[in-house]
A and B are shown apart, each in its own frame.
Chain A
Amino acid sequence: QKEVEQNSGPLSVPEGAIASLNCTYSDRGSQSFFWYRQYSGKSPELIMFIYSNGDKEDGRFTAQLNKASQYVSLLIRDSQPSDSATYLCAVNNNFNKFYFGSGTKLNVKP
């Protein structure tokens, strides 16, 4: 079983719609959860992190965490073509144990 699982996509949404990206993790003891965005040919950049159950909002982005279900999601409101990228979910189980998912490719169509 993979530590972090994501649907590879591609997920296609029209411009202005809400994009919903999902991630599940296997270690119930996981403490920290991150979303990175990676444009084609570029390195990952952190866009959101969440530690506690519930929602965390930052501009057009909302991260949602449900530890009981071992599920974390990223919502992108008012999606723009510039949001088209691969979104990587990462989980920090404990000291130094970082696991990334394979990523979900998002296409936002003008």
Chain B
Amino acid sequence: ETGVTQTPRHLVMGMTNKKSLKCEQHLGHNAMYWYKQSAKKPLELMFVYSLEERVENNSVPSRFSPECPNSSHLFLHLHTLQPEDSALYLCASSQAVLDYEQYFGPGTRLTVT
């Protein structure tokens, strides 16, 4: 596999469920990101990790919990979500946090019912 991969590509979950989104980058990068893209809204940066350490959390509700076990993998754990959390969740990576070139994965389309 090449680039940035995300699984699952589509996810439907109830408000009481717990699920996880997975991201893997095959580029040897040191920084990884989670973004949320809602219809008619700008991309929102949620979390930033550099060398497995979280360096930014942009006021994201605690029902979203990130995990970065190593520089190649990033997870987003979801629990007790709300319908307004339905969106496209994009993972990205870059060589370094200050690096301009961010490579995006294909995204996970999440629907909360």
Contacts and interface: CB of A to CB of B under 8 A. Distances in A.
Given A34-B100, A102-B42, 16 more contacts: A2-B42, A4-B42, A8-B40, A32-B100, A42-B106, A43-B104, A43-B106, A43-B107, A44-B104, A90-B43, A95-B98, A97-B56, A98-B45, A100-B42, A100-B44, A102-B41
Interface residues of B, number: 19
Contact of A96 (B42, B48, B106): B48
Interface in B68-113: 90, 97-98, 100-102, 104-107
Interface residues of A, number: 23
27 contacts: A2-B42, A4-B42, A8-B40, A32-B100, A34-B100, A43-B90, A43-B104, A44-B90, A44-B104, A46-B102, A49-B101, A88-B42, A88-B43, A92-B100, A95-B98, A96-B45, A96-B48, A96-B55, A96-B97, A97-B56, A98-B45, A99-B42, A100-B42, A100-B43, A100-B44, A102-B40, A102-B42
A44 B97 contact: no
A45 B104 contact: yes
In this complex, the member of A2, A8, A99 whose beta carbon has the largest number of chain B beta carbons within 10 angstroms is A99
B57 to A, nearest CB: 10
Interface in B35-59: 40-45, 48, 55-56
Nearest to A5: B42
Contacts of B42: 2, 4, 88, 99-103
